[in-house]
């Protein structure tokens, strides 16, 4: 059981990062392609810029680096 939590923890991905690694870390955590998470983030940024910017900055601060 503890192995599951070690493998499935949410971290920022510093290797595949473009800005801060939040989208790459989410993609790795959810097992989806990085480009899909990044496209979703850009679409959300266009549709809801203030909410998305606050969520991204908060995630950048709260999600640990690996």
Compute mean pLDDT per 10 residues along the chain, 66 residues long, and list them. 68 89 93 96 97 96 91
Residue 2 has what pLDDT? 60
Residue 37 has what pLDDT? 96
Scored b (16 or more CB within 10 A) or e, 18-48 reads eebbbbbbbbbbeeeebeebbeebeeeeeee
Residue 31 has what pLDDT? 92
Instruction: Return the structure tokens found at 10.
Output: 């949410």
Q: State the total domains in the chain.
A: 1
Residue 7 has what pLDDT? 67
**What is the number of helices (H) and of strands (E) in the chain?**
4, 0
Residue 8 has what pLDDT? 75
- Domain with 6, as residue range(s), is 2-62
Residue 6 has what pLDDT? 63
Query: Which residues, 6+ apart, have CB-to-CB distance to 14 below 8 Å?
Result: 21, 65, 66
């Amino acid at each position: 059981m503890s192995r599951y939590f070690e493998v499935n923890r949410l971290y920022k991905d510093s290797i595949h990062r473009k800005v801060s690694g939040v989208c790459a870390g989410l993609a790795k955590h959810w097992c989806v392609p990085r480009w899909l998470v990044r496209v979703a983030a850009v679409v959300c940024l266009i549709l809801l810029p203030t909410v998305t910017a606050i969520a991204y900055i908060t995630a950048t601060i709260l999600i640990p680096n690996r």
